[in-house]
Structure 1
């Protein structure tokens, strides 16, 4: 048993266990929504914060490795990748939902004309209180995409600003951004959201959580800083990190309600998630489990699965009324139906769109210009 060296980490072009972690995050969100009271202990709602930390880590890793490979970060290529990764599934699934309810004659009663401006501009987290989380709102979970889109607009530009400077400068930029956003928490949601969904959705705490993942990527990319997290890749220390993460995770529901929604819990959760990510780089049973083919299969489709859950639950409940009662069986069936729909979108929309984006980037690299052609780096798989 030994730790993972920095050279071994940098040689990794895929992080299979993180695909499985995405699968876990997506499925527990579905069980939170449709599993009933018996699954409250799973704290499924924090699955979105797993996604945030993962997104911050993977996006920043991709940017830093591009800089290491090519000497610079191309914002154009970054946004091409993001547009072709996020928007095709997002708009296809949203169009499917709107068409479904339009054909049922419910398009106006569900108030989609009023909410279109929020969904089409990725301002989902600012939906009016009366529409947010309502029983007839089947796309409200997409508020997390609004958060991530805004993060993508600013953070890559800050990495370009950092240039090829030492990792210390990138750390300072990340910590500075985090400090500003933490200072804004009292001005947005406050440190205690008092069970207000509106306050939580509009809090700057989400961007801090994303930056925790980004900061981890900066540390792990630096040979000098990597030594601070390297011990967590040892199987024994990884076990400690996994136990610590699990202990907080299964108690988040209780702690969240007993503290009037203290957002500091989300920051603690983000830090433990970052430690978990490091531990999953080494060899241990959890890494093996999350890297199995079924977990990676679900992880690859987790983005669309997450977006499909609301309409899948409606369809299942409309077809078989027994599934209108939330419980374990309902959650399992909704997960399977969401996965089936997600697989269709993954095969026919998501994957082809990603490949199209890569071809566009490859063509741009081959164009005769001031910059000589460069071998395109194999992208790190990044979640939504």
Structure 2
């Protein structure tokens, strides 16, 4: 049963929320980052880019992490960040031009992560785990929640709808035309109802934030070892999450772009593909798969439709049924010689939220020889694979919403 609890968020006052919160740091180019830092003194980017104050952009490692902590303290000293007086759940709604997402920001348990109540669908890189664990240890806070999903629940939804009828604590739009709303839940009865409702849910699934959750759990283990009075109730035993009903997730596919044909000519490559696929040349007609086990390919100036020959492919488990895994087992590894799809330099991934034209433009540019597209993976497929104890290939899903940093901050040290 899932352990979900309210917490005392550190956050900006109502009048500064739009100025303080930011997109995830990794999204910004250096030019965009410099512009934000130059014209917005309230931006959270000043906290996580602390060298800007000293006109130094190349501060790295533990020195940078300690400066992040110092900038964070300055924001608190200047009352840009204030801590709520009472533990709360936070309803956060993000409305884009095409979707509305509405869920609850809460503290979730590292124990649930270790006990497989919170399940993951991606592998994590040890180097990134250790790097972010060191960041958390030095800064003492987390400003970007892990995205978790759960089966739609009428009890939780009724509480959310109750608060949405009142004025939100935050209400602002951003330049990408997204509307952000936030309500605080502080009534004891509602806090207890939500806590019990999540307590009746068997499994939460990580949709986005695998490294953040793994690093938080690693830090909790290390802090527990160093604490002779450890009880399991300390704040470091929890990490901040945004819990969203399954029906509200938006899942997109990733396209694959390959730099060479592993020594094959285009015609030789097509002959190799014929073993596992029925191939249709679509010429200049843009093709996007409408069924599972169908793939689009752009090669040598033409689009192709690839239909898996199911009679010659071995569906051995739930992972083998996944289109990204099928492409790896039938094409990327045996024909194109890509063994390690996580680290291979000859493959590049790009999320597909458009009409698929990127398959053509990137190959026509000369940077790649061939590209592949597929249908998006469903939440049912993800859960089926996770529940079987299997891990999906990297870059199988691009999941939204992408969350803003510093709307709420979770302090654990």
Normalised by the size of structure 2, how large is the TM-score? Answer: 0.21
More helix by share: 1
Normalised by the size of structure 1, how large is the TM-score? Answer: 0.22
More strand by share: 2
